[in-house]
């Protein structure tokens, strides 16, 4: 890292601090030549690949605004939404990929949203998983009911590989 004052390549780290709950590291450096100090930040890269093929940095705010619509009229607070967006980011980062398709972001929202509010989840899922018919909703509701029974509480990401163009029954 080149010193912004004298352009020397030689600097040493005098302090390192995590920020944003450990997602980034901020380093205080001291130039070995001019002794001036400067700060660098380090964050791991997470890009979203849009359907158009364009990429953009992952933004929690986009998750929140996407989910907020589905939560209209539901008892979901802004704090809930912020936490959900963080869970989604944590999940995606845990995958270890530098780039994730936009579709995967939507899918990563499903499990925590279901925990938060089942009605909002159904609304959101109906868009992201292309529910076409009443049966799609019925199947999903049946699934919610079944999983609502006191079994395990680990939310499993529902298989979503079904091609959109293939009508017909899905395994329950």
Binding site for Zn ion (CB under 5 A): 3, 5-6, 8, 31, 33-34
Crossing angle of helices 118-128 and 102-116, in 10° steps, is: 160
Roughly how many angstroms between the first and final C-alpha of the chain, as a whole number? 55
Shortest reach from residue 38's CB to Zn ion, in Å: 8
Please say which residue, 1 or 146, places its beta carbon nearer to Zn ion.
1
Shortest reach from residue 12's CB to Zn ion, in Å: 11
- Using CA atoms, how far apart are residues 43 and 59, in angstroms rounded to an integer? 13
Shortest reach from residue 157's CB to Zn ion, in Å: 50
Please say which residue, 29 or 123, places its beta carbon nearer to Zn ion.
29
Residue entry with tokens 């972001």: 105
Lookup: tokens for 118: 């089942």
Please say which residue, 2 or 68, places its beta carbon nearer to Zn ion.
2
Please say which residue, 13 or 146, places its beta carbon nearer to Zn ion.
13
| Closest CA relative to residue 107, chosen from 98, 54, 95 | 95
Cβ-contact 84, 112 below 8 angstroms: yes
Secondary structure of residue 55 in the 3-state scheme: strand
Q: Cβ atoms within 10 A of the Cβ of 47, count?
A: 14
Please say which residue, 30 or 118, places its beta carbon nearer to Zn ion.
30
Shortest reach from residue 1's CB to Zn ion, in Å: 11
Shortest reach from residue 67's CB to Zn ion, in Å: 46
């Amino acid at each position: 890292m080149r010193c912004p004052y004298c352009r020397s390549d030689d600097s040493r780290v005098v302090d390192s601090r995590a920020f944003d709950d450990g997602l980034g590291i901020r380093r205080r450096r001291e130039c070995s030549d001019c002794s001036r100090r400067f700060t660098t930040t380090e964050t791991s890269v997470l890009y979203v690949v849009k359907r158009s093929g364009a990429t953009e940095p992952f933004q929690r705010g986009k998750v929140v605004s996407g989910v907020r619509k589905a939560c209209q009229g539901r008892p979901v607070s802004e704090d809930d939404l912020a936490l959900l967006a963080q869970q989604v980011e944590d999940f995606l980062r845990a995958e270890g990929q530098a780039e994730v398709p936009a579709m995967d972001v939507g899918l990563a929202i499903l499990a925590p949203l279901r925990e938060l509010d089942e009605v909002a989840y159904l609304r959101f899922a109906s868009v992201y998983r292309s529910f076409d018919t009443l049966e799609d909703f019925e199947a999903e509701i049946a699934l919610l009911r079944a999983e609502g029974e006191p079994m395990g509480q680990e939310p499993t990401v529902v298989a979503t590989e079904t091609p959109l163009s293939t009508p017909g029954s899905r395994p329950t």
